[in-house]
Structure 1
Amino acid sequence: MGKTIVEKILSQHAGKDVFPGEIIVSNVDLAFVQDGTGPLTVDQFNYLNFKDVESKSLVFIDHASPSPRKELSNTHSKLRNFCKKTSANIYDIGEGISHQIVAEKYAKPGDVIVGADSHTCTAGALGAFATGMGSTDIALAYGLGKVWLKVPGTFKIILKGKLPFGVYAKDIILFLIGMIGADGATYKALEFSGDGIKNLSMESRLTISNMAVEAGAKVGIFPTDEKTKEYLKINSREKDYKEIRADDDANYEKIIEIDLSNIEPQVAFPHTVDNTRNITEAVGVKIDQVYIGTCTNGRIEDLRVAASILKGRKKASDIRLIIAPASKEVYLQALKEGLINIFLEADATVLPPGCGPCVGVHAGVPADGEKVLSTQNRNFHGRAGNPNSEIYLSSPAVAAASAITGYITDPREVLK
C-alpha cells in the first residue's frame, strides 16, 4: 500500500513505516514560539532543566509588536533573555509574523515543523509537515529535538480547473470550510492535489494551508512542483527543493473534489469561520473597519490585489482602513512597488509588520457594536479584542472594494 505525503514525511522522521492512528516519536527540523505562547514554553524549558535547544529553534515577537503595555514588555524581555542564554534565534518587533518568516527563510519540503501557534500549518504549502502544538510540547521539541504525535489520516482535496475573475485563494479555503464545517477535518491532514493547484501561486497555497486548522485539520499540505522551486529560488533557497508527492496507490479516508470555476467570492459571517456565504448574500452589510494583512493575507500578492482596487480611490469617510504587511521583506517590496503610497493616498493606516488587529491586542480594537471586515483567519467572539463587536472574513479583494464603499462589496464590480 502506498503512502500519503504526511505518511511519507513522518515515516522518514520516525525512522520506520508509520500508519494513521499510530502514536510516534518524530525528529523535528524546526520549532518556534511567538510572544503569546513563548513565555510558558520558556518556563517549561527551564522546569525540565534543559540547558540549550537541540532543534533549530526560533522565537518571534509578532503578536504585540511593538508592545502596547508594560506586562507584555516584560514577557518580551523574558523571551529576549532566553535567546541570549541559548542557541535560539529571535525575530524582534518589526521583522514580521512568524508564519510568513518561516515560509520565506526556513520551511523546506519534507520538513517536520512544530510551533506553539495553531497556524503553524501555513508551511504545509511548501510540502512540509507543519503543525501547531502546546507550549509544553514545544519546550520538549526545543530541548530534545523530538516530539510525539499521532499520525493523522488524510483527506484528499482535489482542486479542478481555474478560478474565475475576482476570486482568490481565500475564497477557496472559505468555500471548503463552509462545505465540511469547522470540525469537519478534526486531526486529519488535508492534502491538496489536482490540476487546479498548478494555477495557484505559492502565496495562494500559503493562504490555503494557513486556514486548514479552521476545519480542525492537523496540517494542510501541498505536493511540491515548479511553483515551489520558484518560490524557494526567489528567497535564495533553491537548494532546499526536493520532490514531495503522494504515491499513486495511497489510501485516503475521504476524497473531496472542488471545481474552482464554480466558486464565487466568499464571506464568513460572525461568529464562526464555517458560517460562509456567497458574496451576493453579504453585499450591503455596513462595516466600520477594514483590515488587510495577517499571516493569511498579508503577503505581497495580497497587497498588490488590494492596491489594484484602491489605486486612485479613497476609502469611505466613515470607516477605518488598516493595512499591515506580513513581514519586513513584504513591506520593503511594497515600498519598492509603490503600494504603500497607494494605500496612504487612499487614506489607509499602514502598520508595521506584525499581527496587530487580528489578535485584538492593539492597533485596531473595535468599539461595541462595530463590524470589522478582515482578511484574517478567525472571527470568533472577541477575536479582535472586543466580544461586543463582529468580524466578517474575506479575501483582500473583497476587503479593498468594501473599504471604498463602506459596505461589503463584490470586488468584481470594482475590478471591471
Structure 2
Amino acid sequence: MIKLSEAGVYLVNGKEIIPADSGKNLGTTPEEARKNTIAYSILKSHNKSDNMEKLNIKFDCMASHDITYVGIIQTARASGLKKFPIPYVLTNCHNSLCAVGGTINEDDHMFGLSAAKKYGGIYVPAHQAVIHQYMREEMAGCGKMILGSDSHTRYGALGTMAIGEGGGELAKQLLNKTYDINCPEVVGVYLTGKPKKGIGPQDIALAIIGAVFKNGYVKNRVMEFVGDGISDLDVEFRNGIDVMTTETTCLSSIWVTDDKVKNYLDTHSRIKDYKELKPGNIAYYDRMIQVDLSEVESMIALPFHPSNVYTIKELNANLEEILTKVEKEAAEQGLKIDLKSKIIDGKLHAEQGIIAGCAGGTYDNLMDVADILDNKAVSSHDFSLSVYPSSQPTALSLVKNGSTAKFMAAGAIVRTAFCGPCFGAGDTPANNQLSLRHTTRNFPSREGSKPGEGQISSVALMDARSIAATAINGGILTPATDLDIEYTKPEYKFDSTVYKNRVYYGYEHPLDSELTFGPNIVDWPAMPKLTDNLLLKVTAFIKDPVTTTDELIPSGEASSFRSNPLKLAEFTLSRRVPEYVEKSKAVQIFEKEREDGKDPVALDINLKKVFDKIKTIPGLENIDPKATGIGSTIYANKPGDGSAREQAASCQKVLGGWANISKEYATKRYRSNLINWGMVPFTIEGEVPFENEDFILIRDIKNSIAEKKDTIKAYVIGDEIKEFDLTLTDLTDEERETIIEGCLINYYKKS
C-alpha cells in the first residue's frame, strides 16, 4: 500500500522513479535536479534574499480565525502596525457559538471587524465558512504562498504552498518583515491507482500519516504530490488528503495541477488564478513515498493520535487485542479509558458520529454521505450523527440539490460551518463515550473532555463514508467498502452571493476608524529582557514521548480567553500538570521583585541558599541576584505537536517562563512560538541530569546567544552542583535579537 524510499530519488518525466544511488547517469546532480521540484520554484519566487539556502519569504496573503487574530493584531499594533500590507482574512469559525464567557466571544468578533475596517482586511462573519474552506474558495491559487495562524493551513491541492504558524510569524508579515527558514527538503508523494468505491480522502490521509509520523519521515519538510493517481481524484478529495498532511508534521505541501484544478477555480470565478504546475523533466526528491491508492482500505485512527492507525477490517477482526493495547497506551499517559466495554456481541459500538470542518465538511464528502443515508435512518437511539457543511455556499448547494433533506430525514443533525468539533467546542460526547469523527485530530481532551476532572471520552478518526455506514448500522463500526452504493456525484454549483452579502472586503481601503475593544481584550503584559545569567526552576517535567499543544494550553472553554493573556495563562498545562500554574507563579514572584529593583533573595531563605551555592561555582562568586533573571522552565521529551497556537508558548511566558528544555521539538512552529515570546528553545542530549522542581543556573546565556554559541553551560543546583551542557542551534540573527530583547514586541519597539 505504502512504500518509503530509504534515500533520495530522481523522478523522470513525472513518471519514472530512479534511486539516486542506482548508479544510473542522468546527466544532472541532486543539487541541480532539486531545483526542478514544484516546491523549489514557488519558494524561489517568494524568497527575498539572494540565498536559496537561507530563505526570507513574503507571502501573498494570510488568514486567521477568531481565537488567534486578536492576539496577532495586538502584537502587530504594539509593534507599530499602520495597515495590512497584504490581504488578511479574519474568519469567525472557532468561537462562533458565543456560548461561553458572556459577551467576550462576540466582542472579539467586533474587534476583528473594526480591525478589518481600520487596517484594510477581509472579515468573514460567524457561520459563513470555516477558515480553510473560505481560503480554498476565495484566495488560494496556483503558485501562491499563504500563511495562516492555524496548523491546518494547507492548500497544496490548489497549487498553493501554505504554512500554519504561530501568531508571531503573522505579525511579522503585517510589519513587512519576512518568514526566515532554511530551505526545506522536499519529499515526493507518488500516487498510483484508483481508490476503491467507498474509500474517501481521510482513508488515504490516515494511511499516509500512519506510515510517516512516528519515524519523522517528513518532519519540517515539504510534501510534493505527483503521479498518475492524482488524475482520478476530484479536487475536494485532494483537499481532504492535503489538509491532513499537517498531522505528518511536514512544513507544507504542494500538488501538481491539472484541468480539474482549472475547473475548480473556474467554478469559483477565479480562472485567472490557474496555471499548470508540475516538476521538471528530472526532479530530485530527498525522499519518496509511494502510495497505491487501489490498496487503501477503510481506515480508523484510534485514540489518541491520528497516527494510531488500523484498517477497520483489521480492528474488527482483533477487537480485544487492539483495544487492550490502546487502553494500555492511554494509561501510560495517565488516561483511563474503557474501549473494550464498547464491544457488544463481538462488535464495536460507537455513540456518536461527526463530519465537520476543513477535512470532513466538504461538498464531495457530504454528497457521498447523503447517498449513503438516502431512504435510510440513523438507526439507533444511542447513536447520533451531526454534519457540518464547511461553508455557506457548500450548504446552499446541498440544499438546492436535496442532500440536506436526505440528512434530516435520516435523523442526522445539520449544523452551520463551525470548527468546534475539531477542538472541543461543539458536540462534546458524554463521559466514556466513543465518538467517530471526520475531523483533523483526536488528541486527548481535544473533543472537550477533562481527564483531570474525571471526564474522559474517546475519539477515533474515520472517513465520512464509513461514519455514515456506521450510522445506518446502529452505531456498529462498519467500513464504507462493505456498502453497495451508487454514488451520484452531482456537479457542485458555487454561489458567491452569500459572501457578497455578508463578507467585509476592505483590503487596500483602510478607514480612519477606531478599534472596538471588549472588556476581555487585554494588551500583552510587559516582558523583561534577557539577563546575563538565568536561574530556572523546573515546574513541569513531562516524560511522555510527545506533548501536544492541546496539553500545553487546552482548547474548549479556554479558547474563550485567547484575547486575555492573563486569564488564559491560568489554563496552562491544566489538563496535564495541574500544579504547573501555581508553581510557576511562586517563582515569578521572585522575578517581579527583581524587576522592581529589589533583592529577590530577601523574600525566601531557600532562594538565598540556592544563590549561596551558585557563588561556589568558579567565576560566579559575585553573581548578583538583582541582575539574574529568575523564572520557570518545563522539560518535555518532544513538545509542540499539533496546533499552531502561539499561546502554548506565550502563556508560559506570561507566567514567568524563560525557556523550554527538550530532546527535540515536535514542530518548527512551536519552536518559533517560543522564540517569538522570548523563550530559549534549549535541547539536551543523553540522560537528563535534573528533576522536577530542581533549580538550574544557565551561565552567560545572553553573551552565548549573541556570540552564536551552540553549547551553553548549565548547572543543577541541588545538594551537590552538577554541570551539564544545553544545546542551542539554528537561530537566525533576528531570532537571537528577539530572545535577547525578551519577545518580538520588544524587538520591534527597539528597531
TM-score computed with the length of structure 1 as normaliser: 0.96
Amino acid at match of 2:350: I
Counterpart check, 1:163 vs 2:195: yes
**Alignment match, 1:64:** 95
8 Å contact from structure 2 (residues 48, 55) kept in 1: no
When residues 97 and 191 of structure 1 are mapped into structure 2, their CA distance, relative to the original with a 3 A threshold, is: same
**Alignment match, 1:269:** 302
Deviations along 1:63-99, one digit per CA (max 9) or x if unpaired, are 1223212232332232222112110110011211110
Counterpart mapping for 1:9-408 below 5 A: 9-15=42-48, 19=52, 22-69=53-100, 70=102, 71-121=104-154, 123-144=155-176, 146-182=178-214, 183-283=216-316, 284-315=347-378, 316-362=380-426, 364-387=427-450, 388-405=456-473, 406-408=475-477
Deviation at 1:277, TM superposition (A): 0.5
Deviation at 1:49, TM superposition (A): 1.2
- Of the three residues 449, 459, 478, the one matched with 1:409 is 478
Q: Secondary structure at the match of 1:120?
A: coil
The 1-side partners of 2:225 and 2:201 are apart by: 13
Deviation at 1:18, TM superposition (A): 5.7
The 2-side partners of 1:141 and 1:305 are apart by: 40
Deviation at 1:15, TM superposition (A): 4.8
The 2-side partners of 1:149 and 1:34 are apart by: 24
When residues 18 and 159 of structure 1 are mapped into structure 2, their CA distance, relative to the original with a 3 A threshold, is: farther
Q: Secondary structure at the match of 1:301?
A: helix
Amino acid at match of 1:261: S
Deviations along 1:9-29, one digit per CA (max 9) or x if unpaired, are 01011156764xx33111210
The 1-side partners of 2:217 and 2:440 are apart by: 17
The 2-side partners of 1:276 and 1:62 are apart by: 28
Q: CA RMSD in A?
A: 1.5
Q: Out of 67-76 and 235-244, give the one that drifted further.
A: 67-76
Gaps of 5+ in 1: none
- Bigger RCO of structures 1 and 2 (CA < 8 A, at least 6 apart): 1
Q: Secondary structure at the match of 1:118?
A: coil
8 Å contact from structure 2 (residues 430, 457) kept in 1: yes
TM-score computed with the length of structure 2 as normaliser: 0.54
Deviation at 1:124, TM superposition (A): 1.0
Q: Out of 73-82 and 155-164, give the one that drifted further.
A: 73-82
8 Å contact from structure 1 (residues 358, 384) kept in 2: yes
The 2-side partners of 1:338 and 1:158 are apart by: 37
8 Å contact from structure 1 (residues 40, 136) kept in 2: no
The 1-side partners of 2:273 and 2:210 are apart by: 35
Aligned residues: 412
Question: What stretches of structure 1 move > 3 A for 4+ residues in a row?
Answer: 15-19
The 1-side partners of 2:39 and 2:188 are apart by: 11
The 2-side partners of 1:281 and 1:360 are apart by: 29
Gaps of 5+ in 2: 1-31, 317-346, 451-455, 486-751
The 2-side partners of 1:335 and 1:17 are apart by: 52
Percent identity of the aligned residues? 30
8 Å contact from structure 2 (residues 191, 229) kept in 1: yes
Amino acid at match of 1:235: H
Q: Secondary structure at the match of 2:76?
A: helix
Q: Secondary structure at the match of 1:357?
A: helix
**Alignment match, 2:650:** none
Deviation at 1:145, TM superposition (A): 6.7
When residues 129 and 78 of structure 1 are mapped into structure 2, their CA distance, relative to the original with a 3 A threshold, is: same
8 Å contact from structure 1 (residues 154, 254) kept in 2: yes
**Alignment match, 1:6:** 39
The 2-side partners of 1:298 and 1:221 are apart by: 21
Q: Secondary structure at the match of 1:59?
A: strand
When residues 268 and 6 of structure 1 are mapped into structure 2, their CA distance, relative to the original with a 3 A threshold, is: same
8 Å contact from structure 2 (residues 356, 421) kept in 1: no
Q: Secondary structure at the match of 1:282?
A: helix
Deviation at 1:163, TM superposition (A): 1.0
8 Å contact from structure 1 (residues 55, 145) kept in 2: no
The 2-side partners of 1:280 and 1:228 are apart by: 34
